[in-house]
Amino acid sequence: MITALSGDTSRLRATVGFVKEQDTATLLQLLLPGLDGPELRALAERCDFSHAALLVFPPDEAALSATLAACGLEADAPPRPSVIVRERLAVRHKRSAAELDVGILRPAVECLDGARRMVEVFALTVPPGSDLDSVAAHEREQQHETHVAFEVATPDPLVLRGLCAAFGRYGASPDGGGYNPHENGTVFYFSAPAEAKAAGYRRVELYVPGDHRDVLAAHLDEHRRRQPAETLLRLLTGAWTTQALAAFARLGVADAMDEERAVGVDELARDIGASAPNLATLLRYLAMLGVVGEDRDGFRLTDTGGLLRTDAEGSMRALALMYGGPFYESFAGLDHTVRTGQVAFEQRFGENHFDHFARDPELAELFDRSMAAGSRMFDPLPVHPVLTAAAEGDTVVDIAGGNGELLGRILSAHPRLHGILLERPHTVETARRLLGAAGHAERCAFRAGDFADVPAGGDVYVLSRVLHDWDDDRCVEILRHCARAMPPAADLLVVERVLPADGSASLATAWDLHMMCNVGGRERSADHYARLFADAGLTLVGVSALPLDGSVLHVRRTGATNTGSKP
C-alpha cells in the first residue's frame, strides 16, 4: 500500500506541473493537431482550460489529505460524490455503483501564465484488504480517467453543438459524458486523435455549468452509433460554410455589427436590407462556427467575425469574397483538373486567373486586397536575421510585391533601408499610393514589369507567394532572373507555404489543392524547393516558420552561402 500511495503522489505531482505550464490556446493545439488560425481563436474564446484530472486510490480521507499536502495542494471543501466516474468504473469493472465510494476534489493551482486553474482529483476509497485492489491496479495502469478539461464560457446550446462539431473536425471522437446533479454540471468527453501531442492525456472534457442533457443526448448517440457516413456528411457541408461566410461579408453584416453590443435581428435586417427570418438562420449557423455570438439581446461579432469587417485591421473580407466568388465557381471543375491536368479556373472562365482579373479593375483590386488579407503571415519577417543585419542604405527588392504590404512592413521596421517594388503596371500605381501614404515614398522606387525585369544590384531580394503560382520550369526561369540580378553577397527570401515532410496536417496541403485547381501552380516541400534553387544556381541556406503555416526560405547564390552579415 505504501508503494501504491507513493505512485499516486508522483502522478499527482506530475499533473500539478502540467497544469502550471499550459494555457488554453497551446493545449488546444497539442490536443487537436492542425487547429490554427481563426478556428483556434474561436475555440479559445468559447472555452478555457480549467483543469487536468486523475484518479487516486486512498485508503481513507486522511490519507487523501496527506497526498494532496505532499503535492502542495489544499482542498477547500470535503469531497463531493462523483456520479459520472463512479458509473464508468461500475461498467468497466462489472461492479455495483453502490460499492464504489468515489469523490471529487478540485484544489487550485497558480499557473505560470498568471491564471488560477485546478487539479481535479477523483478519489476511489480502497480500504486495506478490500477486493477493490484489483480495480485500483488496473486503473493506475490504464489511466482511463486521466483527462484535461475546458470549461465552456457561454453555456448556450448552439455554442455547445459548435464546439462538439469543431472537436470532431480535428479528429476528436465522442467518448461519453453525463450530468452531475450534485454540482449541476454537464460533462462531454472526447478521445483525442492519435496524433495528439499532449503526452499522457488522451481524453478531453468539456465541462458546462447547468443541465444540458438535451445536447448531451446527441453527443452520447454519436458516441454509441458513430458511423463513417456521419463523418462524410459533416465534411460535405464545408461548401455551406464557405458560402455562409461569403454571404456574411457580401451583405455587409459584419460592418453593421460590433463586438461590444449585441444587435437584434430585426434591427440588423433593416440596416442591411435583408429578410429578418433568413438573416437569423444565417447568423445561427455562424454562431455555431464562432463567427458571431448570440445572447438574449441578439447577435454580436466575435474576434473571428470582426476580421470580416471592411475597416478591420488585417481584414479578411476580400479573401471571403474571393473564395466565395471566382475561386468557388472554379472548384466545381476540380474533377476536370484531376482527370485532364488542365486548370479548372481556365475551363470555367476561358483564361488564366491573372489575365481574367487584370481585365476587370474591380476584380483586380479585390484580388490584390485578398492577397493582403493573409498579411499576418508577414508579422515576423521584418525581424529576419537577413534584414536586421542589413547595412545603412541597403536596398530590398520586392519582386511581384503586390500592393506593397510586405515591403511597407520592412521599410517601417528598418528606416535605414530603401526599397524597390516590381509589379504589373496597374498594381504598381496602387502600391505607389499606399506606400506613399505610409511615408515611404522617398525611400522606395517602383518598377512596372515582369520577372525578366528584376532590378540588379539589390542587397536583399524578396519573392513572396510567387513560386507557388507556377510549374517547376517557370519557377526555375524566375529564379534564374533573380540569380542574374543578385550580387554575390545578396540574399533572397522566399515566402511560401511549405508542405510538411511528415505528412502532418497543414494549410499548405489545402493550398496545394487550391493552386492546382485555380492557378495551375502547386505548393512544395523544402527539399523540392532546394532542387529548384540548385537548378537556378542558388543554394537554400535555411528555413524559418511563419504564422498561418507559412515559411521563409533563405537563399543565396551558390558559392556564397554564409549566413552572417555581409562584408
Give me the amino acid identity at 107: P
Helix (H) or strand (E) holding 116: strand 116-124
The most distant pair of C-alpha atoms in the chain lies apart, rounded to whole Å, by 87
Amino acid identity for residue 472 in this structure: D
Consecutive H or E run containing 496: strand 491-496
In degrees, to the nearest 5, what angle opens at C-alpha 525 toward C-alphas 521 and 530?
100
Helices 37-46 & 24-31 angle (0-180, nearest 10): 120
Class of residue 5 by CB neighbours under 10 A (exposed 0-12, middle 13-18, buried 19+): middle
Q: Which of 325, 306, 327, 310 is nearest to 38 (CA)?
A: 306
Residue with cell 537556378: 536
What is the rounded CA–CA span in Å between residue 338 and residue 340? 6
Which helix (DSSP H) or strand (DSSP E) does residue 193 occupy? Answer: none
CB under 8 Å to 204, separation ≥6 — which residues? 31, 147, 148, 149, 150, 167, 172, 189, 190, 191, 192
Rounded Cα gap, residues 100 and 53, in angstroms? 18
382, HSE (Cβ side, Cα atoms, 13 Å): 16
Catalytic status, residue 468 = yes
Q: Please state, in angstroms and rounded to a whole number, the distance separating the CA atoms of residues 7 and 56.
A: 9
Helix 228-236 to helix 157-169 angle (10° resolution) is: 100
Which residues are within 8 A (CB) of 123 and not within 5 positions of it... i.e. 6 or more apart? 55, 56, 57, 58, 64, 79, 102, 103, 104, 105
Write down the catalytic residue from 219, 414, 468, 554.
468
In the numeric block, which cell numbers belong to residue 396? 530590398
d(CA 475, CA 468): 8
Cα distance between residue 141 and residue 123, in whole Å: 16
φ, ψ (nearest 5 deg) of residue 400: 55, 50
Q: What is the pairing mode between strands 292-295 and 298-301?
A: antiparallel
3-class SS string, 386-432 = HHHCCCCCCEEEEECCCCCHHHHHHHHHCCCCEEEEEECHHHHHHHH
Can you spell out the DSSP letters for 16-65? HHHHHH--HHHHHHHHSTT--HHHHHHHHHHEEEEEEEEEE--SSHHHHH
Q: Which three cell numbers, joined as nine digits, stand for 157?
A: 446550446
Q: CA 299, CA 260: separation in Å to the nearest integer?
A: 10
Chain-centroid distance, C-alpha 467: 24
CB 122 within 8 A of CB 85: yes
> Which are the catalytic amino acids?
468
